């Protein structure tokens, strides 16, 4: 190793040596901590980007030694800490299975590949900053980067409490901005068009419920018949569908304690769910012996939204695969464009190019059939964005933000206001009946 001592003031006895490694360009420091009970010399090494960072790290080591704090194993790596954290260190708030899977994904797919080989005693704020900035440069969304940063901080905090990490350097780093993808919500007209396209589809009940009651995808997919009180127009969110690491689906806990809630249903949604119940009875009869009630939902009167595919190992009556639901929703979004008609005088159809047939901007006041381009729905729309759309529609209809937060299962209204409202102006009305006024025309 080649290094230079520079012209800095000589450090005193016991203060350690500091030098720059010319090969790597990093500063290196050593400090002697005496001998252990067996007589073996205890020497610690740190590496940092700047000399000051090395000096500060050596000072921290000496102070910890004076305070009698455990110094940890100099060979301990972030990868080993992460493995132990996954085995027994997840925070108590990580109750829901998909929250645990989120930590597992972050550690196995991002933290360990990028930083796992770093020794804990050498991990620096620059290492963390470089990793996060690399994610931003590769186009990751700001929310994704913030989530990964949060999980690394939690991991190092766990190690810090156990004496394996001297300082949580992740807290010293600001999260880079990353790529911001604006949250999307359907407009009221787009929502009506989607409901019209889904009128005779097996997903009608799920889409109607998703658009009128702010629900997470797992809450919709995991809904059971005993969660619905259709006589009184109430849905009880008690559990959610999760995908395990092996690809299997299971019923588990909701995301947060606040997610467990009961929400009133608009009449149009009650009607759609009654149609879903009748349709499922017909599907069960048609499938005959090929229908197999999903065992995890049997004690809850079965799932509301079930598969009908059979053949090979497939059986009808099983939970809907989330990827199939996503594809079906996008198909219906495309169908909504084709089926949309608009008789308003201010229809904003695109003006046809010169010499080509097509719709023109229409302002004469007469009836006009729209080709869908003035009502284009996102081709990559997701089930989660039904939730965004429901929150926006409730806000547009005048429901107070506190009531929307309760219906959404949020801890408070801050998240609702920041992420989900999409700029629609609130008025003042209660949440119970407004969706009939918002989407009622779609069911006529």
Q: What was the pLDDT predicted at 427?
A: 37
Q: What was the pLDDT predicted at 228?
A: 97
* Short-list 169, 155, 170, 166, CA closest to 74: 166
- Sequence-distant (≥ 6) Cβ neighbours of residue 96 within 8 angstroms: 240, 242, 252, 253, 254, 255, 256
Q: What was the pLDDT predicted at 179?
A: 62
* Short-list 113, 190, 98, CA closest to 442: 190
| Strands lying side by side in the sheet with 261-264 | 228-229, 234-237, 261-264
Residue 241: its H or E element: strand 240-243
Q: What was the pLDDT predicted at 376?
A: 75
Which tens digits make up the pLDDT trace of 102-129?
A: 888 899 999 999 999 998 988 889 899 9
Structure tokens at 168: 């949580």
Which tens digits make up the pLDDT trace of 287-302?
A: 999 999 898 888 999 9
Q: What was the pLDDT predicted at 369?
A: 47
Whose tokens are 């260190």? That residue is 89
Domains in the chain with CATH codes: 3-67 (no CATH), 78-172 (1.10.150.130), 188-443 (1.10.443.10)
pTM score > 0.75 for this model? no
**What is the distance of C-alpha 310 from the center of its chain?**
32
In which residue ranges of the chain is pLDDT below 50? 1, 5-9, 13-14, 94-95, 341-373, 423-432
Q: What was the pLDDT predicted at 358?
A: 46
Q: What was the pLDDT predicted at 274?
A: 97
In Å, how far are 49, 233, 235, 414 from 209, measured between CA atoms? 54, 12, 10, 24
Q: 10 Å Cβ neighbour count for 410?
A: 23
């Amino acid at each position: 190793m080649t290094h230079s001592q520079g012209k800095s003031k000589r450090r005193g006895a016991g203060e350690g040596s500091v030098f720059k490694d010319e090969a790597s360009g990093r500063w290196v420091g050593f400090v002697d901590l005496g001998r252990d009970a067996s007589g073996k010399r205890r020497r610690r090494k740190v590496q940092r980007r700047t000399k000051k960072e090395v000096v500060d790290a050596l000072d921290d080591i000496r102070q910890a030694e004076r305070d009698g704090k455990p110094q940890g194993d100099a060979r301990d790596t972030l990868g080993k800490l992460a493995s132990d954290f996954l085995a027994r260190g997840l925070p108590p708030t990580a109750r829901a299975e998909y929250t645990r899977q989120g930590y597992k994904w972050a550690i196995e797919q991002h933290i360990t590949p990028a930083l796992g080989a770093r020794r804990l005693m050498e991990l620096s704020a620059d290492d963390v900053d470089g990793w996060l900035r690399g994610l931003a440069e590769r186009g990751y969304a700001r929310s994704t980067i913030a989530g990964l940063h949060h999980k690394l901080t939690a991991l190092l905090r766990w190690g810090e409490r156990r004496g394996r990490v001297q300082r949580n350097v992740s807290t010293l780093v600001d999260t880079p901005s990353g790529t911001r993808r604006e949250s999307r919500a359907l407009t009221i007209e787009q929502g009506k068009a989607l409901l019209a396209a889904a009128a005779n589809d097996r997903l009608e009940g799920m889409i109607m419920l998703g658009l009128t009651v702010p629900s997470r995808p797992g809450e919709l997919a995991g809904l059971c018949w005993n969660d619905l009180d259709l006589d009184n127009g109430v849905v009880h969110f008690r559990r959610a569908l999760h995908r395990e690491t092996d690809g299997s689906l299971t019923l588990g806990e909701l995301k947060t304690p606040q997610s467990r809630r009961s929400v009133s249903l608009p009449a149009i949604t009650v009607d759609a769910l009654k149609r879903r119940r009748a349709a499922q009875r017909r599907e069960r009869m048609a499938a005959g012996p090929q229908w197999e009630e999903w065992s995890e939902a049997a004690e809850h009167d079965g799932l509301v939204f079930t598969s009908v595919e059979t053949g090979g190992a497939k059986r009808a009556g099983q939970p809907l695969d989330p990827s199939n639901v996503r594809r079906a929703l996008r198909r219906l979004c495309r169908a909504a464009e084709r089926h949309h008609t608009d008789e308003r005088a201010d229809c904003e159809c695109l003006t046809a190019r010169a010499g080509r047939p097509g719709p023109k901007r229409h302002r004469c006041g007469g009836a006009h059939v729209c080709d869908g381009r003035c009502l284009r729905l996102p081709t990559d729309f997701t089930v989660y964005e039904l939730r965004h759309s429901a929150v926006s529609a409730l806000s547009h209809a005048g429901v107070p933000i506190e009531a929307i937060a309760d219906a959404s299962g949020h801890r408070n209204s801050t998240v609702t206001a920041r992420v989900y409202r999409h700029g629609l102006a609130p008025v003042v009305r209660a949440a119970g009946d407004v969706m009939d006024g918002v989407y009622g025309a779609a069911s006529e």
